Structure 1
Amino acid sequence: MTAPIGYHAVVRVDTDEGISGWGEAPAGISWGGPHGRYCGESPKTVRHVIAGHLIEAIKGLDPRDIAVIHRTMDRTVKGNPYAKAALDMACYDIAGKAADVPVYRLLGGAFRDRIEVAHSLGIMPVEKCVDEAVMAVEEGAKTLKCKTGLDPQRDVQVVRKLRERLGSDIRIRVDGNEGYRTVWEAIDVTRRQEEYGILLCEQPLMDNRQLAQVAERIDCPVMADESAWTVHDILELHALKAAACFSCYVTKPGGLYRARQQADIAGALGMYSDIGGSIESGIGNAANLHLGAASEIAILPSVSPVSKPEGAAGPSVAGVYYLDDLITEPFRFEDGCVLVPDGPGLGIEVDTDKLKKYAAP
């Protein structure tokens, strides 16, 4: 993925009763599904699709009628799930505020009030990666997610160094982001990483049939991310025995409504998930946290940011990816977990001055 993080589309939907809802689309133009199944979106395409098509289509509908809104959006525009997800978030935010309940209540209630943070370590020199991991662990992180897939030798070395430095109590996930050249390379690297103890292997290759070949030949679970956008993807992954779990988040399927459907189907098939994302601001992160609270199968440590405005209390490394945020109050971080906002709607207040400050030209 070459699109920069932090360049996102933000939407506000206003109602005739004076209630406004917020949504976010962390769209990346180079991000999509296997074999061109899902095309990349960008903040500019999201703006075009919403302003030029979707907002007019749903104007006059009740934001609480979320199934009707999704049917209308799908009949109006094919694909473009990130654009639809931004509007879906805003509608749920409005509905929650109108009913004076958190969004997770609208999704069926909370199985948990917090999500364990897996601190994400990007592609960087091994020693720098280890140093960042140590700081994250010192602040309370208990799980690390290591980006891999570009250099097999480095991918094994970084897991070994992390394990040597941090001991056996810290969980390590690896994420190849479809980077390995062949099934056999993915198998070889993962087996060598398994010698040092890894929690799971995320999306080492693009193709689902290739994932199934890897899953059959390694010991740790395979997680699907780029391969798991829709309910139909979940059914295919299960049929091929390609993944034991998947990364469930709001934007890939097109919103909270569709993500909840994904989670329910996956649960019925015996699969489980984390709560993924694309390093959203506090707006999109809040939506993902509500999804995680309401999804029974969301049991894995997740790359859920500890969103906080500049200068606010909280960790400086663990779960922190931006120097500032669009929300006015920080998310709480306790015992390695980020707490789900419990106010009405998404449970956040957006700093509109920050929106103006950070708006792209």
Structure 2
Amino acid sequence: MKITAIKAWQVDLPLKEGRYSWSNGNFVEVFDATVVAVETDDGVTGYAECCPLGSAYLPAYGAGVRAGLAEIAPKLIGLDPTNLGEMNRRMDAALKGHAFVKAPIDIACWDILGKVAGLPVHALLGGAAQDRVALYRAISQQPPEQMARAVAGYRAEGYTKFQLKVGGNADEDIARIIACRDILHPSDVLVADANTGWTRAEAARVVAAVSDLDVYIEQPCPSFEECLSVRRRTALPFVLDEVITDVEALLRGLAEDAMDIINLKISKVGGLTKARLIRDLCVESGIPMTIEDTWGGDIVTATIAHLARSTPAEFCFSATDFNSYGTRDIATGAPRRLDGFMTASDAPGLGVTPLIESFGAPALSIGG
């Protein structure tokens, strides 16, 4: 089997709530997603999706996905997409860094491998370890009372895990955390996610002020060193996200006892091949994970579901159903939330069929 063509479509994903806001005044109203197709001479096509969280979150942006694909795609024509190790070595040789560009190619190749084997991707990733996956709901940054109302509304829909977007003014963030924790049940999970938005001094104030609450602190500051300093000041459980970019970063975090949980974003680390390696290292090291991505629609949600379903429940802290945040369906067969949970399809591959006819002309078409 050989790759004959790689195509990509730019797809807008508007939000139901109109705007998603996080630290430092950042927000997105319409997400810029890229849907990728990897075609083969056997007639099997694999699909994937990559959707960065704007351009001010990580070193990634929507147009950059397509620019990077134009750079590497010609060098992948003729390769065997089921040879995932070789595919990743070739991509790394063709383009240094830019893991987010390589992720959709890698994921599409997993989709092909599943279709050829007649197995769902979660079976290839280690087998089903849980029947359904618990979801969290991200709560866009707003005044404390509005965020508390949003938490209450989503709790009524079945969510029991909530990620508050903080990382703004420390006094307001303290009020946000207190207001939201106050309306939740004792068994509900609350994560205060600063998305690198606090200085070390601000983070120290916040963790001291909420030290008597049942709340997780996530990625308070931009650097690993700053976050480690904050962790050493608090007994609250600690989550690292933005600084866990690859295996090397994970190993450093483990060596320095820098976190209790990580957020494993599939496109941030380069796709399912490298995400599986990080997942397995976390399981062996006793570190639970939120399994997710930077953003996306139906295809990203399906990819998350397969990796999460193949992860033991005690190490799958939560996952994300990004397709419930948007107003647009881009594929059939995608997971759908039910009472705060979702599951991955048992169909071969990712189990999704993109609605290609709704995307318009491809933004990129390499090969024949």
Q: Does TM, normalized by the shorter one, top 0.5?
A: yes
Q: Which has the larger share of strand?
A: 2
One-letter amino acid of the counterpart of residue 359, structure 2 = L
For residues 96-135 of structure 1, what are the structure 2 equivalents within 5 Å? 96-135=114-153
Identity of aligned residues (%): 27
1:247 aligns with 2:267: no
One-letter amino acid of the counterpart of residue 190, structure 1 = V
One-letter amino acid of the counterpart of residue 57, structure 2 = W
Distance 2:27 2:165 in 1: 16
One-letter amino acid of the counterpart of residue 251, structure 1 = S
Aligned-pair distance for 1:71? 0.5
1:26 aligns with 2:43: no
Cα 1:188–1:24 shift into 2, 3 Å: same
Alignment match, 1:45: 64
Contact 1:100/1:345, CA 8 A, preserved across alignment = yes
Alignment match, 1:54: 72
Alignment match, 2:345: 341
For residues 78-93 of structure 1, what are the structure 2 equivalents within 5 Å? 78-93=96-111
Distance 1:162 1:41 in 2: 31
Contact 2:166/2:194, CA 8 A, preserved across alignment = yes
Aligned-pair distance for 1:79? 0.6
Distance 2:282 2:187 in 1: 29
1:294 aligns with 2:304: no
One-letter amino acid of the counterpart of residue 199, structure 2 = R
Contact 1:107/1:260, CA 8 A, preserved across alignment = yes
Distance 1:192 1:133 in 2: 21
Aligned-pair distance for 1:353? 3.0
Aligned-pair distance for 1:330? 5.3
Contact 1:13/1:91, CA 8 A, preserved across alignment = yes
After TM superposition, the score normalised by the length of structure 1 is 0.87
Alignment match, 2:234: 218
Contact 2:321/2:342, CA 8 A, preserved across alignment = yes
Query: Cα deviation per residue 1:80-115 (whole Å; 9 max; x = unaligned)?
Result: 111100101111111111111111111121211322
After TM superposition, the score normalised by the length of structure 2 is 0.86
Contact 2:148/2:179, CA 8 A, preserved across alignment = yes
Contact 1:279/1:321, CA 8 A, preserved across alignment = no
Determine helix, strand or coil for the equivalent of 1:109: coil
1:74 aligns with 2:111: no
Alignment match, 1:35: none
1:327 aligns with 2:343: no
Determine helix, strand or coil for the equivalent of 1:251: helix
Aligned-pair distance for 1:303? 3.0
Determine helix, strand or coil for the equivalent of 1:6: strand
Query: Cα deviation per residue 1:95-146 (whole Å; 9 max; x = unaligned)?
Result: 1111111111111212113221111101112222122211111111111110
Determine helix, strand or coil for the equivalent of 2:332: coil
Contact 2:283/2:315, CA 8 A, preserved across alignment = no
Determine helix, strand or coil for the equivalent of 2:239: strand
Contact 1:332/1:338, CA 8 A, preserved across alignment = yes
2:203 to 186, 210, 223: 186
Contact 1:122/1:146, CA 8 A, preserved across alignment = yes
Determine helix, strand or coil for the equivalent of 1:333: coil
Aligned-pair distance for 1:170? 2.2
1:17 to 34, 38, 42: 42
One-letter amino acid of the counterpart of residue 163, structure 2 = K
Distance 2:265 2:206 in 1: 27
Distance 2:120 2:333 in 1: 16
Distance 2:126 2:302 in 1: 16
Alignment match, 1:304: 321
One-letter amino acid of the counterpart of residue 29, structure 1 = S
Contact 2:305/2:319, CA 8 A, preserved across alignment = no
| Larger RCO of the pair (alpha carbons < 8 Å, separation 6+) | 2
2:164 to 124, 142, 146: 146
Determine helix, strand or coil for the equivalent of 2:302: helix
Contact 1:23/1:283, CA 8 A, preserved across alignment = yes
One-letter amino acid of the counterpart of residue 325, structure 1 = D
Distance 2:176 2:252 in 1: 32
Aligned-pair distance for 1:347? 1.0
Contact 1:114/1:293, CA 8 A, preserved across alignment = yes
Distance 2:55 2:118 in 1: 36
1:263 aligns with 2:282: no
Distance 2:213 2:269 in 1: 34
Contact 1:186/1:214, CA 8 A, preserved across alignment = yes
| Aligned positions, number | 336
User: Mind listing any 5+ residue stretches in structure 2 that lack a counterpart?
Assistant: 1-22, 364-368
Distance 1:252 1:21 in 2: 20
Determine helix, strand or coil for the equivalent of 2:163: strand
Contact 1:260/1:295, CA 8 A, preserved across alignment = no
User: Mind listing any 5+ residue stretches in structure 1 that lack a counterpart?
Assistant: 33-39, 308-319
Query: Cα deviation per residue 1:259-280 (whole Å; 9 max; x = unaligned)?
Result: 1111222333332211122231
Distance 2:268 2:281 in 1: 16
Distance 1:234 1:267 in 2: 12
